[in-house]
């Protein structure tokens, strides 16, 4: 989804712990939603989520619900049933 130019003037932010290789996303608040973009392509497409969906995602991440998806080897251990 592309946003009209005026909607891109929001306070984009990256995680404090993002690494410096540029492989990260930026997040901004928009009316009744949260928008996400690739930090390497700031004028590219964005994802828009409802505030409720974003809160559910961040809560699950804090709980560690996604920790088993990628093991130390980088393989998808959860998806492979390990």
Residue 82 lies inside a defined structural domain of this protein: no
Given this model, what pLDDT does residue 51 score? 92
Residue 69 lies inside a defined structural domain of this protein: no
Given this model, what pLDDT does residue 82 score? 45
Residue 56's domain comprises 5-63
For the chain, what is the domain count? 1
Residue 19 lies inside a defined structural domain of this protein: yes
Given this model, what pLDDT does residue 2 score? 53
Q: Flag whether the pTM goes above 0.95.
A: no
Given this model, what pLDDT does residue 72 score? 54
Residue 56 lies inside a defined structural domain of this protein: yes
Given this model, what pLDDT does residue 65 score? 87
| 74: three-class secondary structure by DSSP | coil
pLDDT tens across 23-72, in order?
788 999 988 899 999 888 888 999 999 999 999 999 998 998 888 776 55
Cα angle 77, 80, 82; round to 5: 55
């Amino acid at each position: 989804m592309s946003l009209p130019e005026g909607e891109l003037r929001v306070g984009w932010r990256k995680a404090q712990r993002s690494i410096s290789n540029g492989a990260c996303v930026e997040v901004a608040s928009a009316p009744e939603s949260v928008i996400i973009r690739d930090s390497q392509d700031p004028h590219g497409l964005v994802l828009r989520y409802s505030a409720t969906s974003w809160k559910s995602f961040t809560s699950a991440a804090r709980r560690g619900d996604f920790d088993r998806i990628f093991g130390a080897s980088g393989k998808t251990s959860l998806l492979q049933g390990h």
